[in-house]
Amino acid sequence: MQQRTIGDTAVSAIGLGGMPMSIEGRPDEARSVATIHAALDAGVTLIDTADAYHRDADEVGHNEELIARALRSWGGDASGVLVATKGGHLRPGDGSWTQDGRPEHLKAAAKESARRLGVEAIGLYQFHRPDPAVPYAESVGALAELLDEGVVRQAGISNASVAQIDEANEVLGGRLVSVQNQFSPAFRSSLAELEHCAAIGVAFLPWSPLGGISRAGDLGSTHAAFGRVAERHGVSPHQVALAWELALAPVVVPIPGASRPASITDSVRAAELTLTADELAELSA
């Protein structure tokens, strides 16, 4: 598969987002493991997770543990797979999402994530979402300490503005390697952050790149241009959306969530889909 770079690590141009396998409406574990194995078989070498990807209050890290088990049971060599996780979000168990960006929380959470993943150092650790109650520089400062202590190999941020990207990179001493923001045909307001990442050479990881769990199935009809281009190429609108995102900048690495082997197998084919300049203009209009 086409390769892209996060920091000093080459990864597949399409990653796998683990959230749908652990939150409300999740499938049974066998299907989730089959989905992860299908991604690995197709050449995916980036899997994104978070300690907050769970459903019930007493199962923090559900998705991290699921991914760790799937990697151990896969028949191939998983040593080249980058597992990226995040900290700073909490799920009380009532369906809501809250924040805790205190440095002491993030440092403890990272060490717990490393334990669950079964690694000495997390390949990529990301601050999940800014906490209004904590100065941003203090939260990101925890990532700098985790880097210095060797708990994490690389650091990123998520749900950040252009100003926060620059602030984080300054706090990290130029060591920011990735920004994970929502971006899709339906949600384009992070285009400024994507373009800024391209300008400074930081990877941009669109989350919900197909529009989210509840909307992805309607992508071709809700956004007609993607349906038209898909028909011309004889592919799914999802492949067109991911190929469009890849074409926006060489730093873009979409991480579509999946809970079925067929979904991620289809998404991966986007890395080989070439769109014309006219098609890209049509999709960007």
Residues with catalytic function: 53
CB 30 within 8 Å of CB 269: no
Taking residue 51's Cβ as centre, other Cβ atoms within 10 Å add up to 23
- Output the CA torsion 102→104→110→111 (10° steps): -170
The 10 Å CB-count burial string (b at 16+, else e) for 221-259 is eebebbbebbeeeebbbbbbbbbbbbbbeebbbbbbbbb
- Residue 103: how many other CB atoms lie within 10 Å: 17
* Torsional sign, CA 61, 143, 71, 260: positive
Phi, psi of 279 (to 5 degrees): -65, -40
